[in-house]
Each structure stands twice: as structure tokens, then as C-alpha cells.
């Protein structure tokens, strides 16, 4: 079985604990690699290495253009290794091969984008309201960034942090999910090959409380970028607070996907499927509340059930599979518990609602695509994130009621609106309390535009120019252009 090592200060090393844990395939249940069980001692070494590298001339004296060139080299290496990275990631988290391959190619695009942005984001000359002074601002990196990432899209969600952090001139310590560490250790091999100076990129694996929290608390950690559940995010935020560390949090959602009666219904059905059954619903932006206008409710639901009941469910490595397994045993059990909760609260099961096992289902870590109807928005199944292939269908009369239901959750990550009426679409866009709104599409993301949450869905943004600024701080510089002869005891 493959036995991985930690990557700290440009060196592959064993964890201080001398312990490893198994990582296994969600589909078959087979353990396939050993992951180092990092501890606080490893966290200390990694952050200290990141700090030394941040101050070292090998990194700090590179121009932004030279940093961009390194990122571009890494992007090229990722492109050459799409198959390897995709196979490893797919094996570890059980996502569909059909989706992972595209996602890894996209990871390379993110590095290309931030490589280009490295030398294009800068300060300003300020038209200052004082005589005989030249004032300008410059943007400077923060220091060591700790990236704590989840299991649903490990390479992508780490890249969303790593690419802007490095482009801005920071160094990074990556703590991948304990369930899906292998692809990030493979990515570190490519960063090493690309020629990043030692200590600029570090990967420390292990469990949240054992190594994640010490990384967050370390006094030399300048910023924490986290994607995961809202509970984990809150803990990370609390651990970062005493050190007044900057924090970016990309957390969960309970996103509404709103279908009006004038929508292209066939497209909207596809959007509803993509929203909550793509990736088996294991995505922060899942359209897990499907809001249907009452006049189309029954017909839409019938068509949705028709499409979903024929989904090809099974081995995620096969290109024709449409719904794969649940990535972790804990998540599988959580989804089944939440389905029971929906039933207890009085929602009606229109499809699914159970686990799938037997031939074609590997170790049986599958949840049948599940549709709840008759859902009230105050039910737990409509308020809490499931992170699985479970959709709640809610009925509404008009725009006002749709918007009231849509916004009545603690989250605000994303929303979908399906209508041919431009006014109606824009009316909704302006009123939805969400960081992303898709009109007549769902689950699109890009390196070029910001992504992040309102309310309990997070802090800060990933993607676009906005994201690189999350990894920079502003310095205001004052230069006298004429010697000052006035009274020095009085503020000028």
C-alpha cells in the first residue's frame, strides 16, 4: 500500500507521531494508501518553515512577474498530470470520473489566471488633500497562510486558496481533509518540481483538532482560509480570533432553486437535477430547496421524478455513471439521519429516502436520490444542510412568497432563478440574500468571478480579482515633496 509523507520545508518527512492512518475508496471500501497523522509538532515545523520562506530572499525578492511564472509552470505540470491527479482524487472521494477530469483541468486554469494576475494588482497614487505631499498605496502579502480544505472537491477548493495566496507573495501550509489527502500530496510533488523555493508550499495531513487547530492558533500564522461545514468554520474562526488573524470562510448552504411558471421547464428540470444530484449533492452550493410556482408544481415534479428515477447509479470510475457514492461513512450516516428527520417532521417522500446496496453498489455507501414534497420551510430538513442527494420541494404563489421562503434560512451561499421574464429575474437577483445568483443555469463557478457567502455561509470571497486582495494588506506611503517650515507642534 502506498505510504505518503508530509511535505515541510521542501522535504518529504515522516510525522512526529510516527503514526499513519488508512485512506479508502468510498465505492469499494478498500483502503489504498497510508496518510501521515500530523500533530501540533508538525504544524509548528510547517508554519515556521513557511515563515522563514516568507522572509527569505529566494521568495521575497522575486518580482510579481517571477511569481507568476512559477505559478504558470505549476499550471503546466498539472495539465501534464490531469489523469494521475484525477484518478487519485476520484479514488479517494468517490466523485464521478466524468466530473473530476474536467475539474482537474480547471484547477490548472485557476493557476494560469492567478499567474497572470500576480503582476496586475497593485496600489494607487492617491489624490491626497494635503499640499506638498505625494501619497501612494502599495499592496503587500500577509505572511503564512493556512489553508484548511474539505473532501468534496479537494484539489479545486485548495487551489481556490493556494493560487491567489502565492500570486500575492504569501507562503502556504495546506491541511487537506483527513479523508482526501492524497491528491494534495501529489500536488505538492508538482509544486516542488515547478521550483517553488523550500518552505513556500507545505502540506501537513491529519485530523482537524490534532493538526488543523494548532495550525490556526500558531502565532506566526497570518491568515486562515477554510472551506467546510459551518460548525467547523465557526471553530476555526474562534481559534483564529485571539490572534486577530484574517480569515476567509467558505461554508455551507441551503440554497433555493426557484422555478417560475414561465420558465423553460425542460431546462429547469435539468438545472434542478444538476443542482442537487450532481456530485450526489455533496457540494456547498447544492440547490437543496426547490421552490416551484404552484401552477407548474405537479407537472414539474412528475418530470423531475421521471428523469431522476432513471439515473445510472453505481461505480463512479465508469464514465456513464450519473450518481456516485457518498464520500465518507460519517456523511452517509448523517444523510440517512436527516432523511429520517424529514419524515418525522411530516415531509412526504416522493422518491428515494433509503440507502442502496447489493450488486453494482460496491460496499453500499449510496443514498438513493431523494425528493421530499409537502415541505414547510420551518422543517429541519429545509433549514439544515444535508450535503447529499436530497431535495426539499416547496410550493409558492408569487414572487413575494418565493423570495420570503428563499431568504428564510441561516445560510446565503447561492440561489437559482428560472424564468424567461428579465424583469422578474432581475427583481429576484436584487432581493436574494446570496453571494451567487444563477439565472437559467445552476452550479457554475469560474476563476474569473468571486464566490462566497452571505450570512452563515461565510466570510470573504474566492475567485476573481477580489480573492487576491484577501491575501494582501494595504500600506499608505507619504512622501514630502517640499520641506515643511510650519510649526512642528501643530498637526499639518
Ligand X SMILES: CN(C=O)/C=C(\CC(=O)O)C(=O)O
Ligand Y SMILES: NC(=O)C1=CN([C@@H]2O[C@H](COP(=O)(O)OP(=O)(O)OC[C@H]3O[C@@H](n4cnc5c(N)ncnc54)[C@H](O)[C@@H]3O)[C@@H](O)[C@H]2O)C=CC1
| Binding region for ligand X (CB under 6 A) | 103, 152-153, 156-157, 279, 283-285, 445
Which CB, 224 or 269, lies closer to ligand Y? 224
- Give contact residues for ligand Y (rule: CB under 6 A): 148-152, 175, 177-178, 207-209, 212-213, 216, 227-229, 232, 235-236, 250-252, 284, 331, 334, 385, 387
DSSP codes, 304-370: HHHHHHT--BS-TTSTT--B---S-HHHHHHHHHHHHHHHHTT-EEEE--SEE-STTSTTT-EE--E
From residue 120, alpha-carbon distances to 65, 117, 396, 466, 472 in Å are 9, 5, 47, 13, 13
CB-wise, 51 or 87, nearer to ligand X?
A: 87
According to DSSP, the residues that pair with 203 across neighbouring strands are 7, 174
Q: Are 241 and 163 in contact (CB under 8 A)?
A: no
Instruction: Measure the CA–CA gap between 206 and 429, rounded to whole angstroms.
Output: 41
Nearest CA among 314, 295, 420, 415 for reference residue 362 = 314
**How many CB atoms within 10 Å of residue 275?**
27
Specify which residues 290 forms β-bridges with: 257, 393
Residue with cell 436584487: 430
Of the two residues 191 and 204, which places its CB atom closer to ligand Y in the complex? 204
CB of 253 to ligand X, least distance (A): 9
What is residue 2's DSSP assignment?
E
Residue 156's binding partner among ligand Y, ligand X, none (Cβ under 5 to 8 angstroms by kind) is: ligand X
What three-state secondary structure class fits 215? helix
Question: Please, what is the minimum distance in Å from the beta carbon of residue 314 to ligand X?
Answer: 20
- Rounded to a whole number of angstroms, the minimum distance from the CB of residue 181 to ligand X is 17
State the cell numbers at 436. 451567487
Return the closest-CA partner of residue 119 out of 72, 81, 84.
Answer: 72
- Residue number, 227 or 370, with CB nearest to ligand X: 227
Catalytic residue list contains 306: no
Task: Show the cell assigned to 455.
Answer: 450570512
Q: Considering just the CA atoms, what is the radius of gyration of the chain in Å?
A: 24
- Report residue 115: phi and psi, to 5°: -60, -45
State how far the alpha carbon of 43 is from the alpha carbons of 14, 17, 229, 234, in Å.
13, 12, 22, 20
Spatial neighbors of 340 by CB under 8 A, at least 6 apart, are none
Comparing CB distances to ligand X, the nearer of 280 and 377 is: 280
Query: Among the options 25, 48, 186, 250, which is catalytic?
Result: 250
Q: Write down the least CB distance from residue 55 to ligand X, Å.
A: 33
Select from ligand Y, ligand X, none the partner in contact with residue 178, using the beta carbon and a kind-dependent cut-off of 5 to 8 Å.
Answer: ligand Y
236 vs 301, beta carbon nearer ligand X? 236
- In the complex, what is the shortest distance from the CB of residue 222 to ligand Y, in angstroms, rounded to a whole number? 16
Q: In whole angstroms, how close is the CB of 392 to ligand X at the nearest point? A: 19
What is the nearest approach in angstroms of ligand Y to the Cβ of residue 401? 27
Which of 235, 289 has the CB closer to ligand Y?
A: 235
Q: Cα separation of 132 and 154, whole Å?
A: 52
Q: Which residues does the annotation mark as catalytic?
A: 250
Amino acid at each position: 500500500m502506498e505510504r505518503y509523507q508530509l511535505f515541510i520545508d521542501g522535504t518529504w518527512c515522516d510525522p512526529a507521531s510516527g503514526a499513519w492512518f488508512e485512506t479508502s475508496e468510498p465505492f469499494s471500501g478498500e483502503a489504498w494508501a497510508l496518510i501521515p497523522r500530523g500533530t501540533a509538532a508538525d504544524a509548528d515545523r510547517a508554519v515556521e518553515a513557511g515563515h522563514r520562506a516568507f522572509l527569505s530572499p529566494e521568495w521575497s525578492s522575486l518580482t510579481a512577474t517571477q511569481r507568476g511564472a512559477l505559478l504558470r509552470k505549476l499550471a503546466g505540470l498539472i495539465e501534464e498530470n490531469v489523469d494521475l491527479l484525477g484518478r487519485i482524487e476520484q479514488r479517494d472521494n468517490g466523485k464521478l470520473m466524468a466530473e473530476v477530469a474536467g475539474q482537474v483541468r480547471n484547477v490548472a486554469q485557476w493557476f494560469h489566471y492567478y499567474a497572470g494576475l500576480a503582476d496586475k494588482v497593485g496600489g494607487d497614487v492617491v489624490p491626497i488633500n494635503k499640499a506638498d505631499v505625494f501619497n501612494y498605496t502599495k499592496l503587500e502579502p500577509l505572511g503564512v497562510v493556512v489553508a484548511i480544505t474539505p473532501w468534496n472537491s479537494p484539489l479545486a477548493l485548495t487551489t481556490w486558496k493556494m493560487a491567489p495566496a502565492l500570486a500575492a507573495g504569501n507562503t502556504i501550509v495546506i491541511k487537506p481533509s483527513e479523508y482526501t489527502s492524497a491528491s494534495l500530496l501529489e500536488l505538492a510533488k508538482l509544486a516542488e518540481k515547478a521550483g517553488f523555493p523550500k518552505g513556500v508550499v507545505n502540506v501537513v495531513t491529519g485530523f482537524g483538532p490534532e493538526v488543523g487547530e494548532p495550525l490556526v492558533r500558531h502565532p506566526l500564522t497570518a491568515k486562515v482560509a477554510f472551506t467546510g461545514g459551518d460548525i467547523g468554520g465557526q471553530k476555526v474562526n474562534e481559534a483564529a480570533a485571539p490572534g486577530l488573524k484574517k480569515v476567509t470562510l467558505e461554508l455551507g448552504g441551503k440554497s433555493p432553486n426557484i422555478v417560475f411558471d414561465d420558465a423553460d421547464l425542460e431546462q429547469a428540470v435539468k438545472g434542478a437535477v444538476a443542482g442537487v444530484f450532481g456530485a450526489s449533492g455533496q457540494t456547498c452550493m447544492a440547490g437543496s430547496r426547490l421552490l416551484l410556482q404552484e401552477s407548474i408544481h405537479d407537472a414539474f415534479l412528475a418530470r423531475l421524478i421521471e428523469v431522476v428515477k432513471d439515473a445510472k447509479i453505481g461505480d463512479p470510475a465508469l464514465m456513464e455513471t450519473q450518481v456516485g457514492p457518498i464520500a465518507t461513512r460519517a456523511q452517509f450516516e448523517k444523510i440517512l439521519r436527516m432523511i429520517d428527520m424529514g419524515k418525522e417532521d411530516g415531509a412526504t417522500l416522493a422518491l428515494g429516502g433509503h440507502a442502496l446496496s447489493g450488486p453494482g453498489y460496491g460496499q453500499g455507501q449510496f443514498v438513493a436520490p431523494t425528493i421530499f414534497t409537502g415541505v414547510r420551510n420551518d422543517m429541519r430538513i429545509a433549514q439544515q444542510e444535508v450535503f447529499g442527494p436530497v431535495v426539499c420541494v416547496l410550493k409558492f404563489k408569487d414572487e413575494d412568497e418565493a423570495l420570503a421562503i428563499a431568504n428564510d434560512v441561516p445560510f446565503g451561499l447561492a440561489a437559482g432563478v428560472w424564468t424567461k421574464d428579465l424583469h422578474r429575474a432581475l427583481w429576484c437577483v436584487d432581493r436574494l440574500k446570496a453571494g451567487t445568483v444563477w439565472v437559467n443555469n445552476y452550479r457554475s463557478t469560474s476563476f474569473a468571478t468571486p464566490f462566497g457567502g452571505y450570512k452563515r455561509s461565510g466570510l470573504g470571497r474566492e475567485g476573481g480579482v477580489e480573492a487576491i486582495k484577501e491575501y494582501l494588506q494595504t500600506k499608505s506611503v507619504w512622501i514630502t515633496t517640499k520641506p515643511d517650515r510650519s510649526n512642528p507642534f501643530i498637526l499639518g
